[in-house]
Structure 1
């Protein structure tokens, strides 16, 4: 893809950026003094970094590369990929954000398991932890693989070597600085990725000669349908909304950011602005794929390479280097957020309840140990699990099927039966697990089965509990 000289130049640029990230994290190592500093940025994050950390966690490598390739193949209808998480994120902001913030602030919560334990009892930590770790270990491992794939394509490194480099970089960065360093590095990386894709769109748009010329090229190539927003089936929409969309409600990394902001007003402004920027960035990514298919004549055998093909086609080498750094920034800003979210569950929900000493120094030490444990699990998955994407599908299905209905119900219904909530969690996630293990019969995603079952169990259990609690009338 690149010649030896280009690889050498790109290698120097990427190496410098990696060392800067480690230095940045080392700076925050000295500022991180407490358990809350490490896991929730001291509950004092300000507006600007909060905006960009929300953008950084929403627009990861899967969106940048995946949505662009989907746009290249499927047209503007693929704009529903960022649209799905935007719609559900709006619902979260309108109906649940304030309640999540208030209950977390009142009870000093660190993880979603803190909330489920409060509402359904300590036994609810177990299904919550299982779901979160399955999802977050898998997606962290996927980020190791994503960085390795970039290093392989650009520099010719073996995938194994790339995974080990990614593991070392992300583990060291997260170990040193915790969520405080993650949020502030996202402020830099999020700015870089957002500016980069907007500049790339402007360059491609001008290269093609404007919208009129784009429409003419689409008509001449028989690609008018690529410019239609409706080019997506109802089943595809349902999958997007019930997976990527519904997942937004039970994303531990997002809940942690809601608690990490210094005030309710801060997270409200940050969330709305960040959500707007994230959707526009995702939409730009899809449009770039569409424009490449219509006007750049790339002739790619693998649509997943469209990003690399575009930047090589339209940019000089210095800007290609910037775009490679932007791509790595996109993956890293997403990866370390998933990393710290999973590690927080290990520290807060598995280790902390079993400690005899819970002073700040002890909790901080075990939080960093949890990052190492999380990294080793994710590394093993990245190296030895042949189909990591399937584990991520399973983990996200378990999160949505097991947690979505009981968690949202508990946020709005104070008298929800703890037994009904706990049963809904276990039965929902086990149903999703069994459906995935069975090979997704009928081609149905496990969330299509697990979530309805979870809702039915929650409703039935709540009715039974209400009848049992009702006073008996004298006859």
Structure 2
């Protein structure tokens, strides 16, 4: 009963905030919907960046990885997120000054329309997959808290996550993300403290009782296999459209930089408890399904009911916030890269059309994501596919567009196509390591070689608004 009360309280709070921020008077244009009117302070941005990136891929997929391979290997898995956040801190001011609504818009501006179209297709494929993982994860949690099956729980998750995304755009998503981040960090710290002290007997006992097979630096995996898990998160974080949109939504370039460094600090406060909880499960609940490593502690009698409720709602908060963010960013692609591409005057002339289109797009992407998730056997499989599709096919071109003056349009197109095709082919025919280990080096090499052999693309020209932002730095 306590689980259900806590769950309902959290859901009602999130829905109320989203509904309030979604009032028409607070959201008039497409920029208001996608970039929150570029009004977000650093601490809210940090919270939404954190909860966007640390979702079911961490509390379920990442925990599954730690459970099977050990805490030290888990550090390498999550290091991709932490190093990605830290690197964004040094790139944030330039990203904010450019202030693009979407990554394909950046690619189109630098390399031309064909590159933008290719980028849009890849982004939508990858991000729809990431949104799908959140539906699966939430379905797990609803089935643990309520009498609903996992499938029924996933349907409820689709409805909840979709509402949060379409109600108030990035403003509602950012604020609900921030509040969820506070709940998540407190919940994880409370859970770790109880499990380590009450169930295991302290950190020393934890070290002594850990399976020796899971105590080595890489666990049962080879260094190359570990790299296959590190790279997808690192590359996704650097090029993630969600991260770029949130940095673009900052009040100023300096605000964006502060937010990125706070994102790194918050990541530490989330990742460390997840690693400790998942590895503790190998001691107190060794028969657990890997996907349920952390969640199983809440329902297996290893914690009091209140602590168990905190763990479950914390996990749900991680998943809901990530899912709503990826639905929202996909709607931005449809609005700015497909339907209203090249029609910049529409926002001033008929601003309501972009908001309506964005909301309809959220619903369409949610349905597609729910269908996609039916074709992957485990959440971790879908997670690695989606991360690699973006990290290998899009991130090299994005970073080159921002930071390499010699890059060419031909190089960007060749890199994206090569990265996408290599990812799919390795997923179908490859074995031994994750596809990113193969796809990313090939895509990066093709980008450099083709660019050096062809004419460079024109440098990005800053708009008056971007020049004003640069003056603020």
- What is the TM-score normalised by the length of structure 1? 0.87
How does 1:220-299 map onto structure 2 within 5 Å? 223-224=211-212, 226-231=214-219, 232-294=221-283, 296=284, 298-299=285-286
> C-alpha separation between the residues in 2 aligned to 1:230 and 1:452?
22
Aligned match of 2:53 in 33, 52, 58?
A: 58
The residue number in structure 2 matching 1:302 is 289
> C-alpha separation between the residues in 1 aligned to 2:48 and 2:346?
33
Could you say if the C-alpha distance between residues 233 and 450 of structure 1 is closer, same or farther in structure 2, counting changes exceeding 3 Å? Answer: closer
> C-alpha separation between the residues in 1 aligned to 2:68 and 2:341?
49
Does structure 2 conserve the Cα–Cα contact (< 8 Å) formed by 1:64 and 1:282?
no
The CA deviation string for residues 186-242 of structure 1, in whole angstroms up to 9 with x for no partner, is 111111111111111111222233233334444xxxx34544545353022210232
> C-alpha separation between the residues in 1 aligned to 2:408 and 2:355?
35
Check if 1:146 corresponds to 2:104: no
Could you say if the C-alpha distance between residues 254 and 18 of structure 1 is closer, same or farther in structure 2, counting changes exceeding 3 Å? Answer: same
Could you say if the C-alpha distance between residues 91 and 73 of structure 1 is closer, same or farther in structure 2, counting changes exceeding 3 Å? Answer: same
Aligned match of 1:352 in 340, 354, 367?
A: 340
The residue number in structure 2 matching 1:11 is 4
Q: What secondary structure is seen at the aligned counterpart in 1 of 2:341?
A: helix
Q: Which has the larger radius of gyration?
A: 1
Check if 1:122 corresponds to 2:122: no
Check if 1:87 corresponds to 2:83: yes
> C-alpha separation between the residues in 1 aligned to 2:309 and 2:38?
36
> C-alpha separation between the residues in 2 aligned to 1:214 and 1:397?
34
The CA deviation string for residues 250-282 of structure 1, in whole angstroms up to 9 with x for no partner, is 211111111011111112112112212213321
Check if 1:163 corresponds to 2:154: yes
Residue 178 of structure 1 deviates from its aligned partner by 0.8
> C-alpha separation between the residues in 2 aligned to 1:204 and 1:163?
28
The residue number in structure 2 matching 1:435 is 426
Q: What secondary structure is seen at the aligned counterpart in 2 of 1:353?
A: coil
Unaligned runs of 5+ in 1: 1-5, 468-475
> C-alpha separation between the residues in 2 aligned to 1:444 and 1:299?
26
The residue number in structure 1 matching 2:205 is 213
Could you say if the C-alpha distance between residues 325 and 442 of structure 1 is closer, same or farther in structure 2, counting changes exceeding 3 Å? Answer: closer
Could you say if the C-alpha distance between residues 210 and 154 of structure 1 is closer, same or farther in structure 2, counting changes exceeding 3 Å? Answer: same
- What is the TM-score normalised by the length of structure 2? 0.87
Q: What secondary structure is seen at the aligned counterpart in 2 of 1:310?
A: helix
The CA deviation string for residues 310-350 of structure 1, in whole angstroms up to 9 with x for no partner, is 23434322332232221211111111111111111111111
Aligned match of 1:385 in 375, 379, 392?
A: 375
Unaligned runs of 5+ in 2: 457-473
The alignment covers a number of residue pairs equal to 447
Aligned match of 2:14 in 18, 21, 36?
A: 21
How does 1:393-472 map onto structure 2 within 5 Å? 393-436=384-427, 439-465=428-454
